Amino acid sequence: MQYRCNKYHPTEITVIKGGEMILQYTDIFDGGETTKIKAEITTEHSASSYGLPVVLLPDGDVLSAESWVLLGYRIVSIKTKEAPMMERWLKNLYGMLGLKG
């Protein structure tokens, strides 16, 4: 069982089929093309503190809240076990922005 973020409510997650966490964003440096990448979410990383999850990109960097918003990231698919952490990450993100999650 997999999950996808509902486009009408950024922290509501609904079931879809799929295999791994895939994110999509708009590459502003490549003519506005949309790009899909593999990612994972974890609390087992040096950038994670107090048990807050971080999203790891394929190059090993951590996805920032600014990049999530400015590049229009969205979840294409996510593993069942990663979904609760991603929901928490999104709620923290939108909370930092003063939006109700």
Tens of pLDDT along 25-83?
Answer: 998 888 889 999 999 998 888 888 888 899 999 999 999 988 998 999 999 888 888 88
Split into its structural domains, the chain has a count of: 1
Cβ–Cβ under 8 Å, residues 86 and 75: yes
Our CA angle for 15, 20, 26, nearest 5°, is 90
User: Is residue 18 domain-resident?
Assistant: yes
Which residues span the domain enclosing 85? 2-96
Verdict on whether the full-model pTM lies above 0.85: no
For residue 101, being part of any structural domain is answered with no
81 lies in a domain? yes
